Structure 1
Amino acid sequence: MNELPTGNEPLISEWITIDQPFVNRFADAILDHQFIHVDPERAKAEGPYGGTIAHGFLSLSLLTHFTRSAMPLPPPGVVEVNYGFDKIRFLTPVPVGSRLRGKFTLVSEEPKGGGKLRRFAVEVEIEGVQKPAVAAEWLVLVLEGGN
């Protein structure tokens, strides 16, 4: 199975920019068109954040994308399955136009279902902002083919 670097050093992804068309596509996909996400003029005039913000679930869902640049690819025959989350917190709103990246720290690894269950402390960071957009514990089940 794929091995992660030893030690407690976090793995950090590349940055991506969250623009309004991206937020609008996510709103369409999850059927959440609240004005603070999709209506820049109204969000600026009436919203609490001075403009549109990304959905919290958009920031959380980007963790799968962030793994591509932060973590080693699994070897052939190994699959990594989303097993769930613990302690998800949406700490800071993400203004449209922000850049985000993911930070992953392996907390533990234990045998599970013929594979390994990995627990990661994860954060979605906003460029230039000290407090992360999202903090959570992510559980990932690593299985070899046939399991």
Structure 2
Amino acid sequence: MSPDMLAPLAAQTGQPHLAVTVYQELIAAITRAVGVDHAQALRARADLAQLRHSLGACATGLRDLAAVHAAARLRYGHHARVSLHALVSLGGLYRDCGHHRLAIRCLHTARTGISRYLPPDDPLADTVAAAINTPPSLNHPAVCIQQPRIGVIP
């Protein structure tokens, strides 16, 4: 099985640490082959950032995904699909960590860019519309270190 299929499968089947390792190896292989800022490498880095975020390493996930977005904008421009996709993903991570204003800003900026620069039937338009209307994850607060714990007295 190829690493680009094994990593998400490992994450979905309860082996997140294997998934992290496979993503790291995949990113290293892609980087050697095509470069650190190639769209494939950026997508793999974004997936790893989202996985880390889902495991509770929120600050790392947010930082890494923001770096992916910055790298995508630098290499491909703010109008490129890879840049806009990273921005949509970043908005979702911010939303789940309770950073409502940052989430809305990312998602609305992405929606504007998608409507302006991508074809009207691009599936990313549906993705951002769904993200805007999706409430924060009910599961994420259990692992999130960014949110205050309910019922915990500091």
Please report the TM-score for the alignment, with normalisation by the length of structure 2.
Answer: 0.25
Larger Rg: 1
- Greater fraction of residues in strand: 1
Higher relative contact order (CA 8 A, sep 6+): 1
- Greater fraction of residues in helix: 2
Please report the TM-score for the alignment, with normalisation by the length of structure 1.
Answer: 0.26
